Every structure is written in C-alpha cells, then in structure tokens.
Amino acid sequence: MSDTRVLYNDQCPVCSFEINHYAAYAKREGLPIHFDDLNGPDRAAWGIDEDTAARRLYVLRDGVLASGIPAFLVLWQDMPRYRWLARIFGLPGVRQVASVVYDYALAPLIYRWHLRRKSRRISQSG
C-alpha cells in the first residue's frame, strides 16, 4: 500500500470528529495514511488555497488527487475496517447519489458553518 495523504479542516467540528477518528484508527493499525490540517503549514504542499480546501475533503494517493465522495472512497479503501463502505458507496447508482448529496447538500452546509465560525473568530478578535 502506498502512502495516502488526507487534507481536511481540523477547525470544523464535523470534519475533525470524523477525520480524527480515521487518523486514530490509521495510527493504531500502522497504516501509511497522513492527515494534513488545511489550517497548518502542510496545506501549501497541496497547491490548494485555503478557501478551496475548506469546501470538501481531498485525498492524494499515487499522485492522483481526489475530492468529495471519490476522496472518501480512496480513504476507505486504504483502511481495512472501512473497505465495506468503499464497496457500498462505490456501487453504480449509490456513488452518484452519494456524490450529489455530498456536493450539493452536505459539503456546502459544512462550508457555510466553516465561514460562520471563521467570521465569528475574526469579529471576536477584532
């Protein structure tokens, strides 16, 4: 298995809850998966600006960048405990429906929460 990198927003409660769970599992199992917080210095190596990175999950494996549901599929395939999710969500039809729900409902909602939290932090610090 080659190294897999995950770019996520650790300041997002939803994102950090889910991804930190995967990170703990990967560490416990010794899996070659690395998790980069988009709010830290690692994001620069991705070549993705902060706003774009905050909009969805990104996974890089073997030089191929995936985002959204395809990114989750790559991540789940690399974790034995979650391969069943990759199989189910990778099925024709299921993948398309999951992608529509993620792209047009979940990701935009989580992104708007991110913008609100960021706006509050700025107004509280200024």
pLDDT of residue 118: 85
Domain spans of the chain? 4-125
pLDDT of residue 122: 81
pLDDT of residue 121: 81
Burial of residue 34 (CB within 10 Å: 0-12, 13-18, 19+) is: middle
Phi, psi of 35 (to 5 degrees): -120, 120
By C-alpha distance, which of 33, 30, 37 is closest to 10? 37
pLDDT digits (tens, 9 = 90+) for 28-59: 999 999 999 999 999 999 999 999 999 999 99
